[in-house]
Amino acid sequence: MKFKNLPPINRLRIFESAARMGSFKGAAEELFLTPSAISHQIKALEDGLGKKLFDKNGRQIVLTEEGHSFAQVVREAFDSILLGTHELQKQGKVVPVRLRVASVFGKNVLFPFFEEFEKAHRNIKLDITWEDDLFTIVDDAFEDNRFDAAIVWGGGYWEKYEIYGLMETQPCILGSPDIIKHDIPLSDFSLICEYPLIVNNQAPNAWKSLTTMPGININTEDAELICVDCLEDVIDAVLRGDGITLNDKNIYRPYIKDGRVKVFSDNTLTGQAYYLVYPDSLKSPEMKIFIDFLMDKIKNDLPPVKTYIWPGMKGNILNTNKEVVFDE
């Protein structure tokens, strides 16, 4: 039989837990065994493979290079078995994936992917709760298991969660072509103050932060300010031609494409990013299907992304490092 040389499944399960937890004690608690039993099974697995999977660093254990590679293979194998089992059990049933999503980013950038996903996976329904785009992850976001995942804006420093980067924000100055007074992109940032500045009351210091950027010498206190309550109101004001905004141009993609919004400055400023975030304990087979689909779509349909692991993060971080290019 082609599987006769495989290590015992129970040893692989113990190894996967120890590798994921980074601790024999943690694996023992998860699997209701003793740390010595975990250690014994890991030693037997290493002897059978002829490879050392863990090194000791004081009282801690760390994966060897071979152990790290093998842990990824084992985890993917168990994920596939779990997914296949779940699919078999759920045949004919519609299972929800409950998402808490930053509304403007979700509706303007991700919504076509959501629709395509539901058409491709009739047995999975995306149950979406739309939130203001400036909400960020908090511990109670997943209390009472109300959500399986959240799509949020922020810096990506959430140690308790698995994190997938979706799109880096690209703040720049945008406005309606109806109010253009100068050639764009603007050659002089001081010209900004000749336009009404739209201020989101949820991020009132956005324009003020622009004045601290190197090489930018403007005084926004001299400008006319138009204050609105939220990001959706900012977009409405921009489309009406009320003024200009300092905002992420990715969420204006539909309006830039149809000509209703123009980029007034081609200097893309430093931004943060939108992330898909979830507690590892809540990851279901349906969630895995959704994440794999979404990340594949982002890879193929959005700008090229750079893959790297942030310190302290367990998840696979994808971070946009190139400017969005829109079809003419």
What CATH number does residue 36 fall under? 1.10.10.10
Residue 2 in any domain: the answer is no
DSSP SS3 for 52: coil
pLDDT exceeds 70 at position 235? yes
DSSP strand pairing (171-175 vs 244-248): antiparallel
Look at residue 31 in the predicted model and tell me its pLDDT: 92
Q: In angstroms, what CA-CA distances link 93 with 78, 114, 146, 210? A: 23, 19, 20, 51
The DSSP secondary structure of 282-310, one letter per residue, reads G--HHHHHHHHHHHHHHHHHS--EEEE--
Look at residue 314 in the predicted model and tell me its pLDDT: 34
Whether 257 and 182 map to the same domain: the answer is yes
pLDDT exceeds 70 at position 247? yes
d(CA 248, CA 250): 5
Residue 327 in any domain: the answer is no
pLDDT exceeds 70 at position 325? no
Look at residue 320 in the predicted model and tell me its pLDDT: 33
Whether 104 and 117 map to the same domain: the answer is yes
Whether 22 and 79 map to the same domain: the answer is yes
Count of C-beta atoms within a 10 Å radius of residue 65: 9
pLDDT exceeds 90 at position 231? no
Whether 254 and 113 map to the same domain: the answer is no
Domain membership of residue 152 as a residue range:
94-168+272-320
pLDDT exceeds 80 at position 100? yes
d(CA 2, CA 224): 75
Are 317 and 310 within 8 A, CB to CB? Answer: yes
Q: What phi, psi does 170 have (nearest 5°)?
A: -130, 80
Mean pLDDT of 296-315: 50
**Radius of gyration of the chain, Cα coordinates, nearest whole angstrom:** 25
Q: At what angle do helices 35-49 and 24-31 cross, to 10 degrees?
A: 110
pLDDT digits (tens, 9 = 90+) for 136-156: 555 556 766 788 898 887 766
Look at residue 318 in the predicted model and tell me its pLDDT: 36
Strand order in the sheet with 124-131: 124-131, 95-102, 149-154, 273-278, 162-168
Whether 42 and 105 map to the same domain: the answer is no
Whether 186 and 158 map to the same domain: the answer is no
Whether 157 and 196 map to the same domain: the answer is no
Look at residue 58 in the predicted model and tell me its pLDDT: 80
Mean pLDDT of 109-125: 92
Q: Is the peptide bond before 96 cis (omega within 30 degrees of 0)?
A: no
pLDDT band, residue 260 (cuts 50/70/90): very high
Look at residue 319 in the predicted model and tell me its pLDDT: 36
Residue 244 in any domain: the answer is yes
Domain boundary among 21, 53, 88: 88
Number of structural domains, the chain? 3
Q: What is the mean pLDDT of the chain?
A: 80
| Most confident listed range (138-152, 205-219, 236-250, 269-283) | 236-250
Residue 65 in any domain: the answer is yes
pLDDT exceeds 80 at position 3? no
Residue 31 in any domain: the answer is yes
Structure tokens at 171: 């703040």
Residue 4 in any domain: the answer is no
Are 24 and 61 within 8 A, CB to CB? Answer: yes
d(CA 129, CA 115): 15
pLDDT digits (tens, 9 = 90+) for 219-229: 777 788 999 98
- Give the predicted TM-score (pTM) of the model: 0.57
pLDDT band, residue 304 (cuts 50/70/90): very low
Whether 102 and 183 map to the same domain: the answer is no
Mean pLDDT of 107-133: 89
Scan for tokens 């594949």, then name that residue: 296
Whether 282 and 163 map to the same domain: the answer is yes
Look at residue 192 in the predicted model and tell me its pLDDT: 84
Domain boundary among 88, 118, 137: 88
What CATH number does residue 287 fall under? 3.40.190.10
Whether 288 and 151 map to the same domain: the answer is yes
Mean pLDDT of 29-39: 91
Strand partners of residue 174? 245, 263
Structure tokens at 175: 């406005």
Indicate the range of 63-72, 121-130, 160-169, 173-182 predicted with least confidence: 160-169
Q: In angstroms, what CA-CA distances link 179 with 9, 21, 184, 210, 265? A: 67, 57, 11, 21, 14
Are 181 and 155 within 8 A, CB to CB? Answer: no
Whether 221 and 235 map to the same domain: the answer is yes
Whether 151 and 284 map to the same domain: the answer is yes
Count of C-beta atoms within a 10 Å radius of residue 154: 17
Closest CA to 41 of 20, 16, 78: 16
pLDDT exceeds 60 at position 316? no
pLDDT exceeds 80 at position 54? yes
pLDDT exceeds 90 at position 168? no
The 8-class DSSP code of residue 196 comes to P
Taking the alpha carbons at both ends of the chain, their separation in whole angstroms is 58
